[in-house]
Structure 1
């Protein structure tokens, strides 16, 4: 038995296909024709860009942001300038110059303490490998077409490898390296392919044709187990697949507890294509549309018309169901090179989200105009992120009113009565939620940042990751405070952070009185089934019990046992 990191849930039983890539051998030597080498480099850049664009066209919407990041690497002036400089100054051939510059970038990222940034070295390595293969005129291995169902075993799978996986014939994959935040793991969860990563040397212990059995949740991998174990895991897998089929029957049903408490289940999305998946999974609305993806993978700000089309597309898919669109939330871990944002010691506490929008009003107003115009096509609601004070809400609403007046003056159609809410993700906002509730139409609790700011834990830092805890008593008390203050003021309260889809916490949130939970598309039907089996009155008692507990460990044990 081997133990790794459960990266994507599900059980896989099948034959091994060892996936090995050809070693790239770089022959370096002085070149005379510098211009020829630079032209070769730019030719490889062009071909690589075209290949990634083609992969992107065939992938799911949720994966495209990762491939967009790869395209941005190919546009990086430091990369391009570094390779050109090495060819020119050191008379290196294009391959040697590229390898030198890529290795430098990879070393920089791998040395970072931030776990998320360290994982991004894999993206640079992926792009660099593709560039080198194109320079050498070699074909990259492709997992898009397989002859039979297999389990992929590899040292690592790059994001572009994962994006091309033949979903019909890949039963799952396991790798020597990687973590839960690696892009291959994120993609596996999106594609609903079971995966275990971080097994260290699993490639050394298997060969093609071996039988592999693994659990993508527990991280347990068995090589050539006894027939009885194979049958047991195969049975569990069939049970899981049958359970998924049963869940599909709930797509068109309402999310109502056994004693009549209705909860709206929304979906978090990043672009119009994601809305289709939300619809296919029975979403009762869009609880969070992250608009920053409209601003990424480009060299300039999106126009009002471009934004209008993106918002309109989602609204038309969702029909009368509510669509909450969050205004631009950049900064922190999301950067836009063309905006020349300042480098900061503490970017998560700095110049980001609503702070940028209130400072650079022309960017904010363009987005608000597009949202107002899109509002005529469906049930749109506007949500401001990173709010910490009443003053910020009033300032944002003032710009919204200016946008309305401009559109009216120009004779353009717009929705005049759009509901406006805020994300409650800063402890200050939670503490003054009674005051903020008088200024807005709804709250949506963003647990990802609320946990981070409440516990003073950088959620990307692997050394303190164990302190980033959704069961922390302070967090749960803040959530209850926000819900109570919202309801006292007559507004509804939702949640759009990762915790909203956690089956252990859903009973607690039901008991606290949350009106809406927004999550990933794949979590909607399991959450609906769970809530339909719970009593609101009984969960109120559970929530009260949880709020009296002293430690996160005590709370986690209690709610985990409750879910079994």
Structure 2
């Protein structure tokens, strides 16, 4: 065996010593017979409390050492532990005579199997539940939290599969790379590692077991390759991949490669990776990673921190996008998605707008406020009215402020249809290709975005054309922007800014610098005329 091919996650290529992680003991069996149901319920409650304490401690450490992605995953774990359906399943199993270990395993196993059968991003949640199951069983056995052990410098970690908790610990240990036999590029473990610039290759199959600990290996996340011939790995590692200079087309048209972030800390990482600014600051993450929505002062400081990282560039801050899989803290009942949810909570919305105005006056960079999930023109008008009121309030109080530019997200068929009118009312349009593809195709958020479906390609083309006709710039903020071939397609349509995960900035810059825009435009025209996804995929293989 010389090399194995899997699915690459992130960018970068490294060489190092292969180190296998020990397989966790996930046996639900207990020494001795179960105690009475009341005693087993007591054991369950004590183990749950210990698991919650472990998760909170780890989340606090992750916030410092790893950042937003890890913190969010661990917070989600804690929420699941108090899911009424989970509690009911455990209760029923204990009433059936099971020990707490077996009850917890039974409660989670059906969900794990169901998630995996569903596929897409839902399948990736099965690893979250495996992580929880392992933590709970260790707590019931009185064992210490799982450790990744002492790893040599520059280790390339190998595992059958990786749960999110272990990924957090590996990211904090600065491992060189990670390879797994199973797993998905959309799984939380992969997302955590990618956010820290760790090259990852997943889904290498059982053949990965032919690689022994101690072997010298090469790992290329772009090619999705693990090789026993490290000299064949030619990609640059994360530290060597930074491209700080501006890039542009062969004819001299400037192209911006910015970053998607969720905090000031991630903005700093983006700056280190050579980003030209922030194309998408997900402001709701400020609430999801704390006990609730931060007050006006705390929001202002977070926005200023991001602006100060890019004193000569634009920072596009998306207003709160709660709803769906991002519930609004302390909300009663369902909350409408995106800007509709903000308008439904006017006091909170006005507070955020004041924070944005204050940050625009204090921060070094140029702030644009972007409205998510727009479906109606009157939503933009309503936000302008709120913005007028916010600036009046700040002026009356003598607080320094500056009115930010306004942009909108195009991530619904309604926004595509309204793109000409929207472009005449705002300073920029931002394509959210993940949500746009799902809404156009009628799939769920758990499904992988199918951006090369002709209906999605045509929707993107129409939105960009409307903005171009109005003289309004367009940025793309979805995962598709980091795909080399799709990035060329976007440039062909007329997109001039691509916002990607911080670790993907260098590779995206290298890919776009010197691109022939006329060839990219021809590619876009042919892709728009395609009738099937396979046709579009074939065309993208010819991308300039």
Query: Is this a same-fold pair by TM over 0.5?
Result: yes
For the structure 1 residues 84 and 23, does the alpha-carbon distance in structure 2 shift closer, same or farther, using more than 3 Å as the test? closer
State the shift of 1:163 in Å: 1.3
State the shift of 1:13 in Å: 5.9
State the shift of 1:157 in Å: 2.1
What does 1:270-349 correspond to in 2, within 5 Å?
270-336=262-328, 338-342=330-334
State the shift of 1:415 in Å: 0.9
Instruction: Give distance in 2, aligned partners of 1:254 and 1:40.
Output: 53
Deviation by residue 1:405-464 (Cα, 9 ceiling, x = unmatched): 222222222113x10010011122112211112221111111111111222233523xxx
State the shift of 1:280 in Å: 0.7
What does 1:62-101 correspond to in 2, within 5 Å?
62-73=69-80, 76=82, 78=84, 96-97=99-100, 100-101=103-104
For the structure 1 residues 208 and 444, does the alpha-carbon distance in structure 2 shift closer, same or farther, using more than 3 Å as the test? closer
What does 1:181-200 correspond to in 2, within 5 Å?
181-199=186-204
Q: Do the aligned residues in 2 keep the contact of 1:16 with 1:211 (CA within 8 Å)?
A: no
Q: Do the aligned residues in 1 keep the contact of 2:8 with 2:222 (CA within 8 Å)?
A: yes
State the shift of 1:402 in Å: 1.7
What does 1:130-149 correspond to in 2, within 5 Å?
130-143=135-148, 145-147=150-152, 149=154
Q: Do the aligned residues in 2 keep the contact of 1:18 with 1:203 (CA within 8 Å)?
A: no
Q: Which residue of 2 aligns with 1:511?
A: 492
Partner residue of 1:391 out of 378, 381, 398: 378
Partner residue of 1:104 out of 102, 107, 131: 107
More off after superposition, 32-41 vs 450-459: 32-41
**Alignment pair present for 1:235 and 2:242:** no
Q: Which residue of 2 aligns with 1:371?
A: 356
Unpaired segments ≥5 residues, structure 2: none
Partner residue of 2:49 out of 42, 47, 67: 42
Partner residue of 1:121 out of 123, 126, 145: 126
State the shift of 1:375 in Å: 1.2
Partner residue of 1:456 out of 429, 442, 450: 442
Counterpart secondary structure, 2:231: helix
For the structure 1 residues 401 and 547, does the alpha-carbon distance in structure 2 shift closer, same or farther, using more than 3 Å as the test? same
Q: Do the aligned residues in 1 keep the contact of 2:178 with 2:200 (CA within 8 Å)?
A: yes
Deviation by residue 1:283-320 (Cα, 9 ceiling, x = unmatched): 11111001111121444432222211211211122223
Counterpart secondary structure, 2:450: coil
Instruction: Give distance in 1, aligned partners of 2:92 and 2:324.
Output: 33
For the structure 1 residues 414 and 241, does the alpha-carbon distance in structure 2 shift closer, same or farther, using more than 3 Å as the test? same
Cα root mean square deviation, aligned: 3.4
Q: Which residue of 1 aligns with 2:166?
A: 161
Instruction: Give distance in 1, aligned partners of 2:25 and 2:330.
Output: 37
Q: Which residue of 2 aligns with 1:21?
A: 24
Partner residue of 2:527 out of 525, 546, 555: 546
Q: Do the aligned residues in 2 keep the contact of 1:29 with 1:92 (CA within 8 Å)?
A: yes
Q: Do the aligned residues in 2 keep the contact of 1:69 with 1:297 (CA within 8 Å)?
A: no
Q: Do the aligned residues in 2 keep the contact of 1:109 with 1:117 (CA within 8 Å)?
A: no
For the structure 1 residues 396 and 117, does the alpha-carbon distance in structure 2 shift closer, same or farther, using more than 3 Å as the test? same
Instruction: Give distance in 2, aligned partners of 1:504 and 1:370.
Output: 38
Instruction: Give distance in 2, aligned partners of 1:325 and 1:457.
Output: 27
What does 1:381-420 correspond to in 2, within 5 Å?
381-416=368-403, 418-420=404-406
State the shift of 1:111 in Å: 1.9
Deviation by residue 1:97-137 (Cα, 9 ceiling, x = unmatched): 36524641453354243643343232233234224424433
How many residues of Structure 1 are paired with residues of Structure 2 in the alignment?
533
Q: Do the aligned residues in 1 keep the contact of 2:26 with 2:133 (CA within 8 Å)?
A: no
Instruction: Give distance in 2, aligned partners of 1:152 and 1:293.
Output: 30
For the structure 1 residues 131 and 57, does the alpha-carbon distance in structure 2 shift closer, same or farther, using more than 3 Å as the test? farther
Q: Which residue of 2 aligns with 1:173?
A: 178
Counterpart secondary structure, 1:338: coil
TM-score (norm 1): 0.83
Instruction: Give distance in 2, aligned partners of 1:456 and 1:159.
Output: 29
Q: Which residue of 1 aligns with 2:469?
A: 488
Q: Do the aligned residues in 2 keep the contact of 1:30 with 1:91 (CA within 8 Å)?
A: no
Q: Do the aligned residues in 1 keep the contact of 2:292 with 2:329 (CA within 8 Å)?
A: no
Instruction: Give distance in 2, aligned partners of 1:554 and 1:382.
Output: 37
State the shift of 1:560 in Å: 1.5
For the structure 1 residues 7 and 312, does the alpha-carbon distance in structure 2 shift closer, same or farther, using more than 3 Å as the test? closer
More off after superposition, 201-210 vs 389-398: 201-210
Deviation by residue 1:331-353 (Cα, 9 ceiling, x = unmatched): 122224521333xxxxxxx9311
